[in-house]
């Protein structure tokens, strides 16, 4: 077994996408850029910068091209954008993004509500995206939303995830895949088991990610169970910014700083500096109209930042 301090995890930051889009009033582009820069300074190595979607659907993303222009050529952080269809993919490519996240839901009801088409239509779009980008150096990720629970249909059976994944991986065999707990209602043991099952059925080359929310208080545990199942990429939002419009009372993505504490104190390196991350989280929490949920921000800062001393860790 590896020494604990040789283990690593990638915390993929989604505050600029899943977080900002939860705020109704448009944020100043400069403020968004400043926050993104703080997150890069903290050592975030992968980030979802936003979405190329209709500005009518999500006005907060109307300045994507401007933000893209600012960060074009950024090398320290791998930046992706979310797309719901081939139109979004082409826009992203035009704006210099070669790291695309295609989203579709496992449940029909959520897919129709989220991207206004059937699951079959989304799979057709995915096919078009793959065709449009084949032969290029585009990296594609497929986010399987509602992989555990749907705000309309309740618990999502494993077999539904299996079926949609099987179709998607046939279309995009080189893609990275994320199982997403869109509502925050997944429970940790099911997260662990579902990833183990899906990983066993997928090609060895498939890269896996987990996207979670903390609505039911399972956010940190769900992420850890995904990690223990072998998932190396965990999505989260600094300050826990977010909130699902379809789940009243829902909180945002699990707070990056809470996950940072859970992983780093356990000896799993993230490459991120907790003090700078918390400063970025403070700035995010100060955004007007934002809804945040963070535990680390609520405790005395010194206690939040202090790390278990080297040589004072329990052996794994």
- Minimal distance in Å, beta carbon 263 to a copy of itself? 8
Position among 8, 134, 155, 170 found at the interface with a copy of itself (CB under 8 A)? 155
By the rule CB under 8 A, 187 interacts with a copy of itself? yes
As given in the structure block, the two tokens for residue 295 are 């535990």
User: Residue 11, SS3?
Assistant: strand
Residue of 226, 269, 283, 214 lying closest to 6 (CA atoms): 269
Contact yes or no for 284/238 (Cβ under 8 A) = yes
Among 30, 157, 230, 245, binds a copy of itself (CB under 8 A): 157
Element (H, E) at 269: strand 268-269
Cα gap 46→78, rounded to integer Å: 5
Per-residue binding letters, 8-37, with a copy of itself (x by CB under 8 A): ------------------------------
Sign of CA dihedral 298, 219, 1, 6: negative
Q: Which of 77, 150, 180, 244 is catalytic?
A: 244
- Residue 235, SS3? strand
> From CA 96, how far away is CA 91, in angstroms rounded?
9
Nearer to a copy of itself, 168 or 226 (CB): 226
Work out how close the CB of 131 gets to a copy of itself at its nearest, in angstroms, rounded to a whole number: 34
Which of residues 255, 280, 281, 285 is near a copy of itself by CB under 8 A?
Answer: 255
Catalytic site residue 77? no
- Distance of alpha carbon 303 from alpha carbon 184, whole angstroms: 27
Interface with a copy of itself includes 103 (CB under 8 A)?
no
Residue 314 binding a copy of itself, by CB under 8 A: yes
Q: Which is nearer to a copy of itself, 123 or 161 (CB)?
A: 161
Residue partners of 157: CB distance under 8 A and separation at least 6: none
Residues in the chain: 316
Question: In this complex, which beta carbon is closest to a copy of itself, that of residue 8 or of residue 118?
Answer: 8
Longest dimension (CA), the chain: 54
| Phi, psi dihedrals of residue 12, rounded to the nearest 5° | -90, 115
Q: How far apart are CA 133 and CA 135, in angstroms?
A: 6
- Binding a copy of itself (rule: CB under 8 A), the pick from 73, 135, 249, 288 is 249
Which one, 30 or 271, has the nearer CB to a copy of itself? 271
Determine, following the binding rule CB under 8 A, whether residue 162 of this chain makes contact with a copy of itself.
no
Q: Which is nearer to a copy of itself, 69 or 189 (CB)?
A: 189
Q: Which of 75, 136, 205, 312 binds a copy of itself (CB under 8 A)?
A: 312
Question: Please, which residue, 34 or 189, has the CB nearer to a copy of itself?
Answer: 189
Residues from 208 through 237 that contact a copy of itself (CB under 8 A): 214-221, 224-225
Distance CA 255, CA 229 (A): 21
Spatial separation of the C-alpha atoms in residues 270 and 217, rounded to whole Å: 22
DSSP bridge pairs for 7: 268
Return the residue of 1, 56, 203, 315 that touches a copy of itself, per CB under 8 A: 315
The pair of three-digit structure tokens given for residue 184, joined into one six-digit string: 């925050």
- Residues marked active site are found at 244
Give contact residues for a copy of itself (rule: CB under 8 A). Answer: 4, 154-155, 157-158, 185, 187-190, 193-194, 197, 214-221, 224-225, 247-251, 255, 258, 261-262, 265-268, 294-296, 298-300, 303-304, 306, 308-309, 312-316
């Amino acid at each position: 077994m590896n020494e604990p301090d040789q283990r690593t995890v990638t915390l993929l930051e989604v505050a600029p996408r899943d977080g900002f889009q939860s705020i109704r009033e448009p944020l100043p582009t400069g403020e968004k850029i400043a926050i993104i820069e703080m997150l890069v300074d903290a050592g975030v190595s992968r980030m979802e910068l936003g979405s190329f979607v209709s500005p009518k659907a999500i006005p907060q993303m109307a300045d994507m091209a401007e933000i893209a222009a600012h960060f074009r050529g950024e090398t320290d952080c791998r930046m992706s954008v979310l797309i719901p269809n081939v139109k979004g993919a082409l826009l992203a490519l035009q704006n210099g993004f070669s790291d695309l996240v295609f989203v579709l839901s496992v449940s029909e009801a959520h897919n129709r509500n989220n991207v206004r088409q059937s699951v079959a239509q989304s799979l057709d779009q995915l096919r078009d995206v793959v065709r449009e980008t084949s032969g290029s150096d585009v990296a594609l990720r497929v986010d399987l939303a509602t992989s555990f629970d749907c705000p309309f249909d309740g618990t999502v059976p494993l077999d539904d995830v299996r079926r949609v994944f099987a179709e998607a991986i046939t279309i995009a065999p080189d893609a990275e895949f994320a199982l997403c707990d869109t509502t925050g209602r997944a429970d940790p043991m099911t997260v662990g088991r579902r990833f183990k099952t899906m990983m066993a059925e997928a090609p060895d080359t498939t890269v896996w990610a987990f996207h979670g929310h903390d609505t039911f208080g399972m956010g940190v545990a769900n992420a850890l169970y995904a990690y223990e199942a072998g998932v190396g990429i965990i999505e989260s939002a600094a300050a826990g910014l977010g909130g699902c419009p379809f789940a009243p009372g829902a909180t945002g993505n699990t707070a990056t700083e809470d996950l940072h504490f859970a992983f780093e104190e356990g000896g799993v390196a993230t490459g991120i500096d907790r003090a700078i991350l918390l400063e970025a989280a403070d700035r995010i929490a100060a955004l007007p109209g934002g809804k945040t949920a963070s535990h680390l921000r609520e405790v005395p800062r010194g206690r939040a930042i202090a790390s278990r001393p080297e040589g004072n860790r329990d052996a794994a």
